[in-house]
Amino acid sequence: GHRTLSQPFPPLPAGSQLPCFHGSSTIRNLKERFHMNMTEEQLQVLIEQLVDGSMRSITTKLYDGFQYLTNGIM
């Protein structure tokens, strides 16, 4: 189904046994990674900055070259 920015992933069942979700900071870190505190306009600016930085990154160019040589992906 459709997810909104306020709920990008389903809630965990009570008493989840998944070790990756244990600890008080896990959900907070996920929300920070999804930039839940930003407006749509702020997210747009951030994404444009991330893409622009990636386009100028030497590591992006090296990875793209590796993908082209090994898999024919351009």
Q: Is there a domain that residue 43 lies in?
A: yes
Domain span at residue 57?
38-73
How does pLDDT run across 64-74, given as a tens digit for each residue? 999 999 998 87
pTM of model > 0.75: no
How does pLDDT run across 11-21, given as a tens digit for each residue? 665 566 777 77
Alpha helices in 1-74 (DSSP H): 25-33, 40-55, 58-71
Count of domains forming the chain: 1
Token pair in block for residue 18: 């998944």
Q: Is there a domain that residue 42 lies in?
A: yes
Q: Is there a domain that residue 18 lies in?
A: no
Q: Is there a domain that residue 49 lies in?
A: yes
Q: Amino acid letter at 50?
A: L
pLDDT value of residue 1:
47
pLDDT value of residue 30:
80
Token pair in block for residue 12: 């965990």
Q: What is the dihedral of CA 39, 41, 42, 47, to 10 degrees?
A: 120
Question: Which residues are CB-neighbours of 12 under 8 A, at least 6 positions away?
Answer: 18, 21
pLDDT value of residue 32:
85
Residue 61 pLDDT grade (very low, low, confident, very high; cuts 50, 70, 90): very high
